[in-house]
Structure formats: C-alpha cells, structure tokens
Structure 1
C-alpha cells in the first residue's frame, strides 16, 4: 500500500513538473514571439538574438534554445493544428470575397487551393527499384547520358513485352 501511494505521488509530481515545463515554454514562446513582432514592426528587420532576449526579458541562451527547437515541440505542433482547424472557414471567407469581385482574395484563394492539390499528386513514389537495392528516380534518369537512357528504356520495354506475351500463353 505504501508503494502504491509513493508511486501515485511520484506520478503526480512528474505530471506537475511537466505542466510547469509546458507553461514555461508557452510563456517564453509568447514573449519571444511578441518581442520579435514588435522589433520587426519597429525596425523593419529581424533583430539579433541579444536584442530579442532583452525585449522579451529572457536570457540569450533561453531565446537561442527556443528558436532552435520550438518547431519540434509538441506544444508548437498543437498550436499549428489548432490553426489548421480554421483553414476551411478562412477558405470559405476568401471564396466569398473572391466571388464578390475581390481580385486579391481570388488570387490568395486560388493559390491556396493549388498548394493543397500539389502534394496529393506527388505523394506516389516516382522511381524504378531494381533488386531492392537500387532506386532510380526521374531526375537521376534524366541526368544519365542519352545512350544509357535509351538502353534502359529498351530493356524495360522488352521486359514488359516478354511478360505480356508469356501471360497470353498461360
């Protein structure tokens, strides 16, 4: 029973430490983001880390470490996901503005839609794999001398023809 209570206290303590760490990260993120926003708005350029640290009231080391690792943080990823939830509403408003004659909104809307379409088309791998150890993608193939490209194409075509003919015999 004593071990169970000890384990519960340890789990509770660990959870409190994690919550405190998350709160500290969120506060630092907000301070750094606000400082960068103010400084860029005022000066028109990205300020050095020392200036950001001074404006945010944090150490240079804290700002440096935060800037190096914030995009890998689960908290940051959660913030991005929260913004992604708004995408459809924003696109709907842009579409409405575009249909009302706002040319800039139409351009942003169409660009956004096109960007969303592009990754879907490029997800399938576009390469030839030979014996599980050699992959030749289109860029590599196109950089080969033309004679080699023709030989490879002829071999692949011959293999396809051979397989097709043998399937007909079966």
Structure 2
C-alpha cells in the first residue's frame, strides 16, 4: 500500500476530535491507513493518554471495534482482580487495578459502573447459563457420594429444599446415574413425599 503524505494523517490525528465529516473525503485505502495508524498509536498508550486518544477517535470507531475494546478492558480487569485476590485475599481498589492493567482509574471506575448494562456482559452471562446443566450434574454426583454441602446445594437448585417442586420444571436437562435417567419430566411427576424420600436418601449417604 502506498503511504499517504504524512501531513494528511498527522493533520487528522492532530485534531481535538475527529468526526465523520473529517474522513468522508478519504478513499478506502486512505481509511485503511488511518485505521492502522490509529491502532498502532492506541497500542502504545496507557492511562489517561489512552483515554484521550479514544475520545479523539470515538466518532469514527465502528461499533464492532468499540465492543472489542470493551472486551479487551474487561479481560484485563478480570485478570488483575483475580491475581490480586489470589495474592492478598481481598478485592483490589480501582487505583490498584489501574496500575496493574495500564488502564486509567477513570476507565476502571466507568467499567465497574456500567458493565452489567453492556451487551458484552449479557452475552457472557448467556454463555454461563448454557453451562448451568453441566454444573448441576457435577453437583449431583458429589451429593450421591455423600457430600452434604453438594446435596444441599443440589436440592436448592432444583427447588426441593424449600418444598417447591414446581420449580423443577425450569430444569432443561437430564442427569444419568449408571443406566437410570433422571429427567425434568420424571421429577415434575413426583409428589412432595417422594421428593422428600430422595432428599432423605441423600442425607443418609452423608
């Protein structure tokens, strides 16, 4: 690709705020070069300087790229929190997270304040929900082996611990023990007394 005159790119990046009007005259090759230059510049910045540059190009960043930036920040923050808690046993403050990630404290605070409403968070939670039946099956196996904490958790999850078997209808998977399949339909047809018997069997195994 032929490089544009440096002054053209430099002029755009010297603006306080780059708007769609500022780049509408660029052809595809020029837009690509501006994008590559902006990406390289962003990778070299941290803290407030990174925030300022993102603010400068905010109006010309595609929605997909903004989502990528959010996911990148989220990954950095999650990793920093996990490391800090593993080493110190407490949740780090926002300043500590900022130092660890290279993000500004303002970005970290903004991320914590708004992440639950971000589409990326919703997508991640849907992925976790997809894995819920596997977790339930794992808990059930531990309960059968006499783990009372697992038994209590399992019964709470399927609704029998508080004598509300109707909640079981929400379970959309089955559990297989040897050649016996325990499905949501099986559980839904059991009476409260039968559910109590299952609970007692698990308790006796403990």
2:134 to 69, 89, 93: 89
Deviation at 1:83, TM superposition (A): 0.5
Match of 1:18 among 44, 56, 63: 63
| Residues in 2 aligned to 1:71 and 1:59: alpha-carbon distance in whole angstroms | 20
In the TM superposition, residue 100 of structure 1 has moved relative to its aligned partner by 2.3
- What is aligned with 1:62? 107
Deviation sequence 1:80-126 (CA, Å, 0-9, x none): 011001111211121122112222211221222239969x6xxxxxx
Find the counterpart in structure 2 of residue 34 from structure 1.
79
Give the superposition deviation at 1:18. Answer: 1.1
What is the TM-score when the length of structure 2 is the normalising length? Answer: 0.47
What is residue 107 of structure 1 aligned with on the other side? 152
The structure with higher relative contact order (CA 8 Å, sep 6+) is: 2
- Cα shift at 1:20: 0.8
Output the CA distance in 2 between the equivalents of 1:64 and 1:43.
21
Unaligned runs of 5+ in 1: 1-8, 121-170
Give SS of 1:101's match: coil
Q: Which has the higher helix share?
A: 1
User: What is the correspondence of 1:1-170 to structure 2 with a 5 Å cutoff?
Assistant: 17-114=62-159
Q: Normalized against structure 1, the TM-score is what?
A: 0.56
Q: CA deviation at 1:31?
A: 0.3
Unpaired runs of 5+ in structure 2? 1-27, 29-58, 168-206
Q: How far apart in 2 are the matches of 1:59 and 1:79?
A: 24
Measure the CA separation in 2 of the matches of 1:36 and 1:64: 13
Larger-Rg structure: 1
Bigger mean CA deviation after superposition, 16-25 or 73-82:
16-25
Give the RMSD, CA atoms, in angstroms: 2.8
SS of the aligned residue for 2:91 comes to coil
